[in-house]
Amino acid sequence: MAAALAAGALMCAWAAPAVAAQQASVTLVLLPQVNAASKLAQIHRISLGLLSTGIDEVSREQTSLDISQGSRIDDRLYGRDLPQLSPRPTDQVAGWSQVVSRARSAPADLIPGLLATTLERAGVPVQADSVPTEAVPPATNVAGHVSRVGRVSRIGHVIPGHGHACYPRACPGFTVTAAVAEALPSLISGLKGRDLIIALPVPADRGKPILIGIAGQGYRGGDLTSSSTRTDGYVLSTDLAPTILHRFGLSTPDQMDGEPIDAVGHRDPGALDDLADRMEAIPDRRAPVVILSLVGWIVVAGLVGLFLPGLRRRALTWLALAFAYMPLMLLAGAAIEPGAVAEGILVGPGAAVLAGVTLLRVRGWWALAVACAITVIAYAIDMVTGSELTKLSLLGPNPIFGVRFYGIGNELEALIAVMVPVGVGAGLSAYTGWGRKVSRSGAVATFLVAALIGALVFGAGRFGADVGAAIVLPVGASVAIASLPRGFEAFARHSPQNSSKVLGGRRSAIAIAIATPIAALACLVVIDLISGGNAHLTRSVLDAGGVGDLAEIAQRRLELSAHDFAQAARNPLFWLVVAGVCVGLVQWRRIDAWLLPAPLARAGFLGACAAVAAGVLVNDSGATFLVFGSLALGAALAFAWAQAPGTDP
């Protein structure tokens, strides 16, 4: 054994030229999946976190490849499937040319093997031990070559008769190897200086986060986190490459989109288990809770309207208010984290009760304005205070899918895009219903200020980090402003004949609709740059290397939106929504008659329609945005019908 250890040391010395970067040893230790999580939690001098293995469901080979390139995209954007990788006797990975060709086919700047090549160019040795095939890519350079250390330095070898793991001194540089979890304590005890151990169980379940541990200077306990997720206890597979480069004092290449991993606070394995359980519950509960709640409200409202015709208007008002309160109850569910049945009761009957209380206490358009304001303000407070409730709600960014990890997702953006202009219009209409007048400048300012505040809160990288919100909310405000009638003095009298006279002509309306979101985006960019928000806008668009990179971003978003429409086409709800939109367009004159008695509410509704249309175009999940936005518009129309005189059949 002594001779073997000496041979291992000689091989390490032979493989280590003069290192220009900071001297360190970083070892990526791949663990068997079985019981790895529970055993990692028992090691005290290690920081723990959940690792997002990819976007949606990816293979373990793709996860390793993403680590090697420090970036990742949706698997659906690749032009072909990932070939099977295996090292040849010459240490040249078979099929690597196909991997490179596949990366070039994707609308992104992907460089497989970038991690190893960056280290090698800085004089840092890179080597791999005898590890599973799926672990080869992290130590593979852009040419598909991986240097071998040899089985003699295999970490985790148990000496017969001693019952403990034996570890030769680690090679300098970056090493990928395999071990058992029981071997980690002895390995960690031998760390010196800037040495680092990254313990990563080999992913078994496609798409599910796995527990990861990092030990070394700066990682003596605490929860792992990164700027990529802004979530304590959660990091990305693409964060590993920047973390390794940072340990050697090297900068992260522009082609990598991960961020260095840090350790914060005190380690809490139980909290990580709860976080993992909640994330896994979100995709399974989202559709059932939302759809069953909506169906339940519609059935109740329909039965009331059928058997109690005198309460038909109040039933539809109640239905619209219940829908407006639904996101609020989903936020409450994230705070409580109940079981599936309890969360369904919290959202369905809970929102219904809130709607009933509002209906009893508030009359007319005030009811819709209050419901929209309470829900939107609750999410705004959650964004500004940095709370984690939104990200763990059923309509949050849904981190389990590996795309968004903080701020708001497209589903919530679609609802807010409707509730902001509709709520403002309802509030202004209710105000004029008291016999008071609203000046043109006052109405314009109200729509504009609400949209800009919403764009800041939900779009800025420090808060909601949703660039789409900075587009759709100003578009909604612009169209609402352009739809304002000239005769403001007639508002208190609800004069329909004046409501058709809009502010300015068609050209000015188009100019306002285009200029406002551009101005909002410009302000958002300035705010992100000053505050260091590091949002998607600044990290992808502003850091793009030129027109070609911007074209790739646009292509990527269009392709993802096309995939979203293709997937939605298999869902009956999508076609019901499409049918509803078509009916609305055909019956627009009749619908408009419901809104004419409340011209300010009408302006808000038209602005909401424009916001949804813009969201479908600019988001990478257009079908999802269309469904949620159209449902919210339908609820607003139900409320308008209930308020309009003479609409009973």
Q: Which residues contact 325 (CB under 8 A, 6 or more apart)?
A: 350, 351, 354, 355, 358, 371, 374, 375
Does residue 584 have a pLDDT over 60? yes
In degrees, to the nearest 5, what angle opens at C-alpha 66 toward C-alphas 63 and 68? Answer: 115
More confident residue, 4 or 319: 319
Whether 256 and 391 map to the same domain: the answer is: no
Token pair listed for 437:
């007048």
The pLDDT of residue 556: 67
Nearest to 111 by CA among 148, 137, 146: 137
Token pair listed for 577:
């929504």
Whether 465 and 598 map to the same domain: the answer is: yes
Token pair listed for 83:
């070939």
List beta partners, residue 178: 30
CATH code assigned at 219: 3.40.720
Whether 491 and 631 map to the same domain: the answer is: yes
Nearest to 581 by CA among 618, 550, 616, 530: 616
Residue 630 in contact with residue 580, Cβ under 8 Å? yes
How many whole angstroms separate alpha carbon 538 and alpha carbon 7?
Answer: 50
Nearest to 199 by CA among 62, 70, 68, 40: 40
Residue 607 falls within a domain, yes or no? yes
Q: What is the pLDDT of residues 460-472, one digit of tens each?
A: 767 767 778 888 9
Q: What is the pLDDT of residues 249-292, one digit of tens each?
A: 999 998 998 999 999 988 888 888 888 888 888 888 988 999 99
Nearest to 520 by CA among 480, 460, 462: 460
How many whole angstroms separate alpha carbon 460 and alpha carbon 109?
Answer: 25
Whether 580 and 433 map to the same domain: the answer is: yes
The pLDDT of residue 212: 92
Of the pLDDT bands very low, low, confident and very high (cuts 50, 70, 90), residue 101 is: very high
Whether 261 and 386 map to the same domain: the answer is: no
Q: How many structural domains is the chain composed of?
A: 2
Mean confidence (pLDDT) of the chain: 81
CA dihedral in degrees (398, 404, 406, 412; nearest 10)? -60
Place of tokens 């809490």: 268
Residue 475 in contact with residue 513, Cβ under 8 Å? yes
Domain boundary, last residue among 249, 267, 285: 267
Look up residue 356 and give its DSSP letter.
Answer: H
The pLDDT of residue 204: 60
Alpha helices in 230-339 (DSSP H): 240-247, 269-307, 312-336
Q: What is the pLDDT of residues 518-564, one digit of tens each?
A: 776 666 666 665 555 555 555 555 555 554 555 666 676 677 778 88
Whether 381 and 490 map to the same domain: the answer is: yes
Of 1-5, 403-407, 506-510, 604-608, the range with the highest mean pLDDT is 604-608
How many whole angstroms separate alpha carbon 390 and alpha carbon 230?
Answer: 13
Alpha helices in 337-409 (DSSP H): 340-361, 365-384
Of the pLDDT bands very low, low, confident and very high (cuts 50, 70, 90), residue 342 is: very high
Q: What is the pLDDT of residues 317-337, one digit of tens each?
A: 999 999 999 999 999 999 998
Residue 56 falls within a domain, yes or no? yes
The pLDDT of residue 633: 96
How many whole angstroms separate alpha carbon 331 and alpha carbon 340?
Answer: 15
The pLDDT of residue 561: 78
How many whole angstroms separate alpha carbon 322 and alpha carbon 352?
Answer: 5
Beta strands 196-201 and 210-216: pairing type?
A: antiparallel
CA–CA distances in Å: residue 638 to residues 193, 321, 613, 631: 67, 10, 20, 11
CA–CA distances in Å: residue 341 to residues 26, 94, 281, 329: 46, 50, 12, 14
Residue 313 falls within a domain, yes or no? no
Does residue 120 have a pLDDT over 70? yes
Cβ count near 21 (within 10 Å): 17
Residue 337 falls within a domain, yes or no? no
The pLDDT of residue 649: 46
Q: What is the pLDDT of residues 361-373, one digit of tens each?
A: 998 999 999 999 9
Token pair listed for 158:
């148990």
Q: What is the pLDDT of residues 208-252, one digit of tens each?
A: 788 899 999 999 888 999 988 888 899 999 999 999 999 999 999
Does residue 626 have a pLDDT over 90? yes
Residue 322 falls within a domain, yes or no? no
How many whole angstroms separate alpha carbon 644 and alpha carbon 646?
Answer: 7
Residue 184 in contact with residue 36, Cβ under 8 Å? no
CA–CA distances in Å: residue 187 to residues 27, 131, 313: 10, 17, 71
Residue 328 falls within a domain, yes or no? no
Residue 332 falls within a domain, yes or no? no
The pLDDT of residue 524: 63
How many whole angstroms separate alpha carbon 172 and alpha carbon 105?
Answer: 36
Average pLDDT over residues 66-84: 87
Of the pLDDT bands very low, low, confident and very high (cuts 50, 70, 90), residue 152 is: very low
Whether 523 and 375 map to the same domain: the answer is: yes
Of the pLDDT bands very low, low, confident and very high (cuts 50, 70, 90), residue 441 is: confident
Token pair listed for 244:
């390794």
Least confident interval from 218-232, 419-433, 579-593: 218-232
Residue 269 in contact with residue 84, Cβ under 8 Å? no
Collapse the DSSP code of 505 into the 3-class scheme (helix H, G, I; strand E, B; otherwise coil) and give the result.
coil
Percent of the chain with pLDDT over 70: 77
Of the pLDDT bands very low, low, confident and very high (cuts 50, 70, 90), residue 167 is: very low
How many whole angstroms separate alpha carbon 541 and alpha carbon 513?
Answer: 22
The pLDDT of residue 322: 97
Nearest to 404 by CA among 446, 340, 467, 325: 467
Domain boundary, last residue among 216, 248, 267: 267
Packing angle between helix 269-307 and helix 340-361, nearest 10 degrees? Answer: 50
Residue 296 falls within a domain, yes or no? no
The amino acid at residue 178 is A
The amino acid at residue 287 is A
The pLDDT of residue 163: 32
Residue 199 in contact with residue 214, Cβ under 8 Å? yes
The pLDDT of residue 438: 79
Whether 373 and 499 map to the same domain: the answer is: yes
Does residue 505 have a pLDDT over 80? no
The pLDDT of residue 535: 58
Residue 370 in contact with residue 318, Cβ under 8 Å? no
Domain of 19 in residue numbering reads as: 2-267
Domain boundary, last residue among 232, 267, 302: 267
Place of tokens 């490459």: 241
